[in-house]
């Protein structure tokens, strides 16, 4: 399970606000004219507004994430720091994640952060199937509702081992990668249930996704990944901004 940072942040804001309120209604009246505030009260007054601002931004606007694995190559690389739009799919209560206001529905081709059905851990994949879609994946080729999603080899040819393509997924052109030597039993034909989304990684032979643990329920959605803002290779490397920008 991932660290529940929203809950920790909310708890710190609540604790700081409580100390601040306690100082207003009681502690300040007990201090003499020459007494100073305690370090606890002073820190609560200085840090609580900052923490509250960060909590609001992360909960309702944008939240940063780091890409931990190669399941979304070639689109996202290990070490990419991304921004996730928290409001485009609707306003949700922080921590509890209940939707209180609808805005947009996920679209085929979106890159989405979510919790998979089998664990409370952040995942990032691409929306492949919408509610009601018939999704088929056979011999590394994706078919949606009977329509083959075109794969165009990059540079006009296939590589020997790692094959890279531009895939047309609905109205979205994006890059995918397959491994010619990978022998995986991941062929599938499934109808996406209502209120669910079928997710797949762009690195098709190195991704644990809806082919293995099923479609993602709407109430498990976190937000839409919209931009890379920084990249840092693992180890003692300095961060760079060469990959900063939006992506498909």
φ and ψ of 5, to 5 deg: -65, -40
Nearest to 227 by CA among 90, 96, 76, 2: 76
Active-site entry in 59, 71, 207, 210: 71
State the Cα–Cα distance between residues 59 and 19, nearest whole angstrom.
23
The tokens for 99 are: 């939707």
Start-to-end C-alpha separation, the chain: 28
From the candidates 86, 125, 140, 224, give the one annotated as an active-site residue: 125
Q: Is 29 known to be catalytic?
A: no
Active site residue 217: no
3-state secondary structure of 142: strand
- Alpha-carbon distance 176 to 167, whole Å? 7
Please give the biggest Cα pair distance in the chain: 81
Residue 118, Cβ neighbours under 10 Å: how many? Answer: 10
Say which DSSP state 203 is in.
B
Active site residues: 71, 125
């Amino acid at each position: 399970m991932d660290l529940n940072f929203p809950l920790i942040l909310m708890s710190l804001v609540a604790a700081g606000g409580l100390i601040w309120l306690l100082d207003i209604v009681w502690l300040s009246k007990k201090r003499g004219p020459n007494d100073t505030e305690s370090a606890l009260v002073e820190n609560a007054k200085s840090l609580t507004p900052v923490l509250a601002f960060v909590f609001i931004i992360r909960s309702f606007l944008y939240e940063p994430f780091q890409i931990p694995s190669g399941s979304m190559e070639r689109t996202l690389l290990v070490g990419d720091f991304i921004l996730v739009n928290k409001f485009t799919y609707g306003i949700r209560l922080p921590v509890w994640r209940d939707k209180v206001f609808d805005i947009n529905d996920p679209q085929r081709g979106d890159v989405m952060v979510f919790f998979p059905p089998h664990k409370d851990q952040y995942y990032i994949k691409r929306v492949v199937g919408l509610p009601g879609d018939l999704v088929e994946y056979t011999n590394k080729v994706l078919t949606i509702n009977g329509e083959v999603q075109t794969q165009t080899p990059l540079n006009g040819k296939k590589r020997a081992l790692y094959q890279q393509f531009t895939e047309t997924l609905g109205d979205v052109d994006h890059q995918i990668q397959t491994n010619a030597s990978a022998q995986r039993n991941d062929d599938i034909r499934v109808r996406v249930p209502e209120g669910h989304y079928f997710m797949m990684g762009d690195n098709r032979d190195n991704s644990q996704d809806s082919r293995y643990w099923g479609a993602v329920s709407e109430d498990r959605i976190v937000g839409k990944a919209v931009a890379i803002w920084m990249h840092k290779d693992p180890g003692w490397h300095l961060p760079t901004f060469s990959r900063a920008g939006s992506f498909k």
